Amino acid sequence: MNRSAPIGRIDKLLELMAALRDPARGCAWDIAQTATSIVPYTIEEAYEVAGAVVAGNPDELRDELGDLLLQVVFQAQIAKESGQFEFADVVEAITAKLVRRHPHVFDAQGSLLDPSDRIADPEIIAAAWERIKAQERAERRSHEDGRDGPFSDVAKSLPALLRAEKLSRRAAAFGFDWTDPADVVAKVREEIDEVEQAMGQPDPVHSPAKEAQAEEIGDLLFSVANLARHLGIDPEDALRKGNAKFERRFTAMARFLGDRGASLEDSDLDAMEAAWQQVKASEKR
């Protein structure tokens, strides 16, 4: 493939996006969009990229990365129209950030360091990365009103489980953390006990007892996210895989029943449980 062909250049994509947003000749739907209105699509495309990675399908991944890139270009075009910034500024900002956060790879001008000057210890690199990020946050807080606070830049739009991990990681950077994963396990057990206590209360729908149960479930999930962090596991990815495993096994269970002339609708819990155990056993063989 000719990589220099116009169809594969970023400036062609930028031109197409500008044309779609052209008030006189563009697409009515694209013209009507705002930075806020396309946020759900950006989030959706990011998840579809993750799904393509998990599926191990390079063609699908290529296409999904393109869809995600389109969202970046879309936001940049909207910002350009209002005089805020443009795509080149986005590229410049991330380039500068990468150089700034990798002092063990680049000098201040962005040139590669001599191999003898590089740091090879991943733990030292990770600690330096967090230190640099903390400095950046402190600088932003000193220039921006209404954003002061240790969690000010942890996006509220993140999925709750992912945000829980980020919040606990940020707190840990200040030293507010358990030192041993076993202590986190004990905390998880404590939260399970509190869920059980809340379940023992009268619980008509929308009652204070129901709210207490929801609160304790939230504490439990937050503790589980903490445990995942201590074990070096991405909780969002772990749950995604757990979802996929359940989906795979439940679908196989339905097929197992169907092969025996039954269906999910016609099977009672005992029959489904027996089929479920057969599916699990077959996966282990």
pLDDT digits (tens, 9 = 90+) for 216-258: 999 999 999 999 999 999 998 899 889 989 999 999 999 999 9
In angstroms, rounded to a whole number, what is the distance separating the alpha carbons of residues 164 and 226? 8
Answer yes or no: do 11 and 90 share one domain: yes
CB-based contacts of 102, cutoff 8 Å, min separation 6: none
Whether the per-residue pLDDT at 6 is higher than 60: the answer is no
Answer yes or no: do 91 and 56 share one domain: yes
Answer yes or no: do 34 and 80 share one domain: yes
Q: Is residue 256 situated within a structural domain?
A: yes
Answer yes or no: do 84 and 42 share one domain: yes
Question: How confident is the model at residue 237, as a pLDDT?
Answer: 87
Q: What type of residue sits at position 20? A: L
Number of domains in the chain: 3
Answer yes or no: do 27 and 65 share one domain: yes
The CATH number of whichever domain residue 52 belongs to comes to 1.10.287.1080
Answer yes or no: do 11 and 96 share one domain: yes
pLDDT in tens, 42-80: 989 998 998 899 889 999 999 999 999 999 999 999 999
Whether the per-residue pLDDT at 30 is higher than 50: the answer is yes
Answer yes or no: do 254 and 183 share one domain: no
Answer yes or no: do 94 and 1 share one domain: yes
Domain stops at, among 233, 251, 273: 233
Determine contact, residues 194/216, Cβ cutoff 8 Å.
yes
Q: Residue 73 belongs to what domain range?
A: 1-100
Domain stops at, among 100, 116, 149: 100
Q: Is residue 117 situated within a structural domain?
A: no
- For the chain, what percent of residues have pLDDT higher than 90? 60
In angstroms, rounded to a whole number, what is the distance separating the alpha carbons of residues 274 and 95? 56
Answer yes or no: do 198 and 266 share one domain: no
Answer yes or no: do 196 and 275 share one domain: no
